[in-house]
């Protein structure tokens, strides 16, 4: 079975949504969307709303929008290590003294 990429799933879903409405999205496409959403640990509530035919269409469409944002924002970060891990570099955090250093106040003059 060939796996479809998350952006392709979202594009196909959006095309059906625009052309026919959310009521006519095929079950297999809904399942693909849920699989992509689960893979990135997206909102369980949004997943439940998008597949519930008793919910108003506008609520289901908004849930799809939320899932789309979460999937696109996370899909490239889930499977592998982050860039720093691949490159062997570590994130350098400022020390607590640096974070507490006073900053000069900017006073506006007329």
Model pLDDT for residues 2-24, shown as the tens digit of each residue: 567 888 999 999 999 999 999 99
Residue 9: Cβ-neighbour burial (10 angstroms; 0-12, 13-18, 19+): buried
Global pTM reads 0.64
Model pLDDT for residues 79-97, shown as the tens digit of each residue: 544 444 444 544 555 555 5
What is the phi/psi pair of residue 50, to 5°?
-65, -25
In the predicted model, what is the mean pLDDT of the chain? 79
Model pLDDT for residues 59-82, shown as the tens digit of each residue: 999 999 999 999 988 755 555 444
């Amino acid at each position: 079975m060939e796996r479809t990429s998350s952006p392709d799933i979202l594009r196909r879903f959006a095309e059906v949504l625009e052309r026919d409405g959310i009521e006519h999205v095929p079950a297999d496409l809904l399942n693909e969307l849920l699989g992509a959403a689960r893979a990135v640990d997206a909102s369980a509530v949004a997943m439940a709303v998008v597949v519930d035919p008793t919910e108003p269409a506008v609520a289901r469409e908004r849930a799809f929008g939320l899932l789309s944002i979460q999937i696109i924002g996370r899909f490239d970060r889930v499977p592998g290590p982050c860039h720093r891990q691949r490159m062997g570099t570590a994130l350098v955090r400022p020390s607590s003294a640096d974070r507490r250093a006073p900053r000069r106040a900017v006073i506006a003059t007329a």
